[in-house]
């Protein structure tokens, strides 16, 4: 199937809706991004790349970074990672505090903020520099130099009251080993990373090739770990909309409040869509529609 016309058509179909949704404003540095952007990029397992719309424009990857910190943590820690983090959908917003109290500071999964902060804590413990390691992983996977956006990181730090609360709450249950400030410094930096759809589609390619690096073929994670990451993306990657994503799209996805969504069809392709306007669950409104159109037009879905 020629995928280029499919991507071009998705962008053309959604063009009249550009600007729909609400750009995340609780992180001040994200509030100024134009909602009238839409990009889509795709990479097949064989390495063919396709792109349409604003596919080369870097954006704030935000929670899409949780995919890659989870990958690093699974590589370093194996199954011990799961002593402090669950693997169930939360059914709650990504930044919710409510379950943490009744579940003694153990977050439901690694993709809600509490879970990602718990992963960040483990990485701060086991890496010489967690910051350097995440940039090295993303740069290696995408084949380009990836950096933090220090303005976004500072903006998150100055407005991250909920994340500060979540981290302190977990610390009070004895579930964080490191200083809250140190863990959050890493967490805010991982969220601030700027990447384009093309770079993210390539960076996620190991998830559609049994854990193998898209450019070198080396193991990024084992085949079993890649399968597990995909399972977590499907069940938890889009927070309390994960059921709706599975129903409407049927691909493992990981979203972020910058408006990016990475999706994977195991053994076949990885793709990334970006449009900054969000729906009420914090997922990209047009990004979700673009994925829905993609699956409808190609029939490519895990179901």
Between 38 and 261, CB nearer to ligand GLN: 261
Of residues 139 through 168, those in contact with ligand GLN by CB under 6 A are 156, 163
Report, in Å, the least distance between residue 175 CB and ligand GLN. 18
Between 44 and 255, CB nearer to ligand GLN: 255
Q: Is the dihedral of CA 237, 185, 205, 201 positive or negative?
A: positive
Q: In the chain, where do the E strands start and end?
A: 39-44, 49-53, 59-60, 194-195, 253-255, 260-265, 269-274
Report, in Å, the least distance between residue 37 CB and ligand GLN. 17
Report, in Å, the least distance between residue 90 CB and ligand GLN. 12
Mask of contacts with ligand GLN, 237-276, x by CB under 6 A? -------------------xx-------------------
Question: How far is residue 3's CA from residue 120's CA, in Å, rounded to a whole number?
Answer: 37
257 is catalytic: yes
Report, in Å, the least distance between residue 187 CB and ligand GLN. 7
Of residues 7 through 46, those in contact with ligand GLN by CB under 6 A are none
Q: Which residue has the tokens 């998830």?
A: 207
Question: How far is residue 107's CA from residue 230's CA, in Å, rounded to a whole number?
Answer: 19
26 is catalytic: no
Report, in Å, the least distance between residue 70 CB and ligand GLN. 14
Q: How many residues does the chain have?
A: 303
* Nearest CA-CA partner of 166 in 218, 233, 90, 75: 90
With 0-12 / 13-18 / 19 or more C-beta atoms within 10 angstroms meaning exposed / middle / buried, residue 45 is: middle
Q: Work out which of 44, 69, 71, 95 binds ligand GLN, going by CB under 6 A.
A: 95
- Which single residue brings its beta carbon nearest to ligand GLN? 63
From 119, 180, 221, 257, the catalytic residue: 257
Helix axes 113-126, 161-172, angle to 10 degrees: 70
CB atoms within 10 A of CB 224: 11
206 is catalytic: no
Enzyme catalytic residues: 63, 66, 187, 239, 257
Binding site for ligand GLN (CB under 6 A): 62-63, 94-95, 113, 156, 163, 191, 256-257, 282
């Amino acid at each position: 199937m020629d995928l280029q016309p499919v991507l071009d058509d998705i962008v053309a179909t959604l063009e009249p809706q550009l600007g729909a949704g609400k750009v995340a404003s609780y992180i001040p540095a994200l509030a100024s991004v134009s909602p009238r952007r839409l990009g889509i990029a795709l990479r097949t397992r064989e390495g063919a790349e396709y792109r349409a719309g604003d596919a080369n424009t870097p954006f704030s990857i935000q929670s899409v970074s949780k995919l890659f910190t989870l990958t690093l943590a699974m590589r370093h820690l194996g199954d011990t990672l799961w002593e402090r983090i669950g693997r169930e959908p939360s059914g709650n917003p990504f930044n919710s505090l409510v379950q943490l109290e009744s579940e003694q500071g153990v977050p439901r999964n690694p993709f809600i903020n509490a879970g990602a902060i718990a992963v960040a804590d483990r990485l701060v413990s086991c890496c010489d520099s967690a910051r350097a390691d995440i940039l090295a992983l993303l740069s290696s996977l995408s084949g380009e130099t990836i950096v933090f956006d220090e303005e976004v990181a500072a903006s998150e730090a100055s407005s991250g009251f909920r994340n500060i609360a979540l981290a302190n709450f977990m610390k009070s249950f004895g579930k964080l080993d490191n200083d809250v400030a140190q863990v959050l410094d890493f967490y805010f930096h991982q969220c601030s990373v700027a990447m384009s759809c093309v770079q993210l589609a390539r960076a996620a390619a190991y998830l559609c090739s049994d854990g193998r690096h898209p450019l070198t073929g080396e193991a990024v994670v084992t085949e079993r770990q890649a399968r597990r990451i995909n399972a977590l993306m499907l069940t938890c990657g889009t927070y309390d909309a994960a059921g709706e994503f599975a129903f409407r799209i049927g691909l493992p996805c990981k979203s972020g409040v910058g408006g990016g969504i990475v999706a994977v069809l195991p053994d076949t392709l990885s793709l990334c869509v970006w449009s900054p306007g969000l729906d009420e669950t914090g997922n990209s409104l047009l990004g979700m529609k673009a994925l829905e159109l993609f699956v409808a037009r190609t029939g490519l879905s895990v179901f």
